[in-house]
Chains A and B, each alone.
Chain A
Amino acid sequence: MKTSYQNPAAKNIRQNWGLYLLLLPSVILLICFAYKPMYGVIIAFKDYKSASGIIGSPWADPWYKYFLRFFKSFQFKTTITNTPLINIYSLTVNFPLPIIMALIINQMHAGKFKRVFQTITYMPHFISTVVMVGLIRIFLSPGIGFMGNICNLLGIEAPNLMGEASAFKSIYVWSDAWQHTGWDSIIYIAALSNIDIYLYEAATIDGASKLQKLRYIDIPMLIPTASILLIMRVGNLMSLGFEKVYLMQNDLNLSASEVIATYVYKIGINGAQYSYSAAINMFNTIINFILLITVNQITKKISENSLW
């Protein structure tokens, strides 16, 4: 009896041991693949040589050598502006679109059409990135592609969009929208289907129109989910899925498409300069972390929704 007062955490664990057991695999996973490798980040401060190992390599002189090299590098300005710009563009398009789509799907009542519509919109999500970029490239090719053929039919000279630096961000963001909007809307649809049916009934009795129900029931009920997802996305503002950008790059659009992730890849994996690329990536992660905390605090103040 007494012990249970002395140590509430132990009591909690003893009472809900089944739940903690369920948690165990993910904790082990995190320790093995996220926390254990983390000490490797010290190679950002070392002159790392794979033959000497992480511990055996000598410290860089001065310790911030590789960070300094990045700040002075030719690519610093390009990568540091392109990364957030593409992300902010992507956020303004790909954050509201799934919400809008979920609201539309929620309004549909014909069961079969709704299911077909949903399936068709989320199917593209399963196309792999490599195939997707191949599709984009062939689709936009002025010589042999779909767009080129249409332009030829209309008698216009087809622009080579993949070679236009100014078009890169739009191609990237809107192809993403086509591919992922349907899939991303699933979480909102789930949130909407959890809304208590009595709320709608009460609103109907009060004489609310369809639009008013959307405005006063659906949207407010989505805000908690939406703000959590927003925080998570802002936390990734400085990082960008690297495969798609890398695959879409060419010499003509590089000024708009070089981002931190692709630069780290070129330096680290292609150029075998592990310390330098670790330093760049670490710098990037620190900025991400600061952004995440800031946005979390802001949303906490405004809407009382937050990660912690």
Chain B
Amino acid sequence: MSSTLKRVISLIVVIGLSVVLLTGCTGTRADKETDGKSSPSTSSIGKTEDQNFNPEGLPIVNEPVTLQVLTTRWGSMGDSFTQNQWLIDLERKTNVKIEWQVHSLNDWSEKKSILLAGGELPEVVIGMQTFDDTDIMINKEYFLDLTNLIDQYMPNLKEAMQTIPEFKTIVTFPDGKIYSLPKNLPARPMTCNQPIINKKWLDNLGLEEPTTVDELYYVLKKFEDKDANGNGNPDDEYPICGAKGLNMDLLNPFGITDLYGNKMMVMDDGSLAYYPITENYKEGLKWLRKLYSEGIIDPESFTQDATMQDSKRKNPSASLVGFDYAWTPDALFGQWSDEYIALAPIKGPDGKQYAAGDKNGISSIMRNEAEITKFCKHPEVAARWLDQFYDGEASIQNFWGAIGTVITKNSDGTYVLNNPPEGISADAWYWDQSLRDFGPKYVSPDFQKKIKLSPSSGDGLKLEVSKLGDPFITTPYPNVMYTMEESDQLSTLRTDIDKYIETTRAEWITKGGIDEGWDAYIKQLNEMELDQLIKIYTDAYTRYQQIK
């Protein structure tokens, strides 16, 4: 009896399992079908679109509509920005409910490929870090041409495009269509990362602030030899500390600056140079080799990851790192932030100073801040929703935080930033409270004048610190646009060439042999079709010059 019972039970289990597997197998198709059909509530909106959608005024729709919006954030910032009061009010005023999908940029490149290969995107995508030119160009079919939508439903943006013509040229793709929306930012500094040094260490050892590479070397050598942090141990200082490689800003004194990370530079005479094959780069590496061989650079700089580097920067018992390049002096070192100050750009062997940056303000006008995909059920609703962002007051609230928490609006119509809560840096606070650098924004020149920043913290401080580097800013290789074939080739060429340059550099700095290896290095790069890569950059640059 019991054996038959057992048999029956096992039979049921087996059948149950197979059913689960079978449904698992067809699951994807079932999902797609429901997506395509769309739930009854939204389909009814589709039918009665004319009554529900208001082409002007608020609310945008009479019956609530849900939009899926995807965006990306740095590290583990999470989605705290969605609690921004302006976004909450917007949802109430417009009747457009937002279903946020927030991803971390840590592993976004993997997720992005899978998302694009999967053939299903959310309705709206926000943030220039989310999809770049290449992603959009290669997958053009996924994104809507926004030209007509802007014309019909986006009066704010249209006005912005008339005030700043660059707003339109920057988003016009090589095929003449507009796939993404632009932004500009208020109060942008001109200088990107700047040299910062531990002032307390200098004082402890009675040293002056370094101004040339030789002085810098002298100071760093002293940091290494002496007990600079004053904790009794002369060996625990890391004058320079990297993670998975060295910060290439360290080569700034040698005339090497790279704002957008594509290794291209515009020289004084307007010609282009690919810096890893220049004499300056060679000289710079020799200097770094000297620092490494004398123990100034943390020997783990090429093997440790960012977490280990961070634990050294924020070591609880004593400050351990002497010198680095950063956005502001208080950006990297946690509780030791007060010990660091920014320096003027270090004078190179040629006696000149160089700083990476942009004379028009860093990433002041950018594209790809928002896209509407072809999976969007109500493109006109999405367009009108996005247009709400192109307004001065909306933009500053999306850049710093809501009025009432981060921003105070004065009775005379000016805006000031409040001080961050104790224990959090101003920049981190802005990131917590707003979309910050990402997302559509427009601040008109008139509105800019109404913003008053305090020079003691946050973005006001950066503007102040930036003045050190502003006179020495080099012309960056601009934010050019590539054709389909070019971006396809670019990613093939760069995968191998970039890796080869990085491994060779790591080897030269840690083991030496730059002079002996240089010719073979150039030869190898030529074999990897470096000339083709440079040709692509040159062509794109020439085209960019012609648009203007």
Contacts and interface: CB of A to CB of B under 8 A. Distances in A.
Interface residues of B, number: 54
A251 B244 contact: yes
A141 B304 contact: yes
Given A29-B21, A74-B527, A141-B308, A273 B492 contact: yes
A273 to B, nearest CB: 6
Given A22-B14, A32-B24, A50-B139, A252 B302 contact: yes
A272 B138 contact: yes
A17 to B, nearest CB: 10
Nearest to A251: B506
B316 to A, nearest CB: 13
A251 B303 CA distance: 8
A68 interface: no
A226 B494 CA distance: 45
B141 interface: yes
B495 interface: yes
B267 interface: no
A162 interface: yes
B168 to A, nearest CB: 26
Counting chain A CB atoms within 10 Å of each CB, the highest count among B21, B112, B140 belongs to B21
A51 interface: yes
Contact of A160 (B117, B138, B300, B528): B300
A51 B113 contact: no
A28 B21 contact: yes
A96 interface: no
Given A269-B110, A270-B113, A28 B22 contact: yes
Interface in A236-276: 250-255, 266-274, 276
Given A250-B244, A272-B138, A24 B303 contact: no
A250 B303 contact: yes
B496 A25 contact: no
B-side interface mostly? helix
Interface in A38-92: 49-53, 69, 73-75
A163 B116 contact: no
Contacts of A163: 299-300, 302-303, 510
Interface in B93-118: 109-110, 112-114, 116-118
A32 B302 contact: no
Given A50-B117, A163-B510, 5 more contacts: A28-B18, A52-B141, A137-B308, A162-B303, A272-B135
6 nearest A-B pairs in the assembled complex, by CB-CB distance: A251-B506, A51-B141, A162-B303, A32-B25, A50-B117, A163-B303
Interface of A: 18, 21-22, 24-25, 28-29, 31-32, 49-53, 69, 73-75, 137-138, 141-144, 160, 162-163, 250-255, 266-274, 276
27 contacts: A18-B7, A21-B11, A21-B14, A24-B14, A25-B14, A25-B21, A32-B24, A32-B25, A49-B139, A50-B117, A51-B139, A73-B496, A75-B496, A137-B304, A138-B308, A141-B308, A144-B312, A160-B300, A162-B303, A163-B510, A250-B506, A254-B503, A268-B113, A269-B109, A271-B491, A271-B492, A272-B138
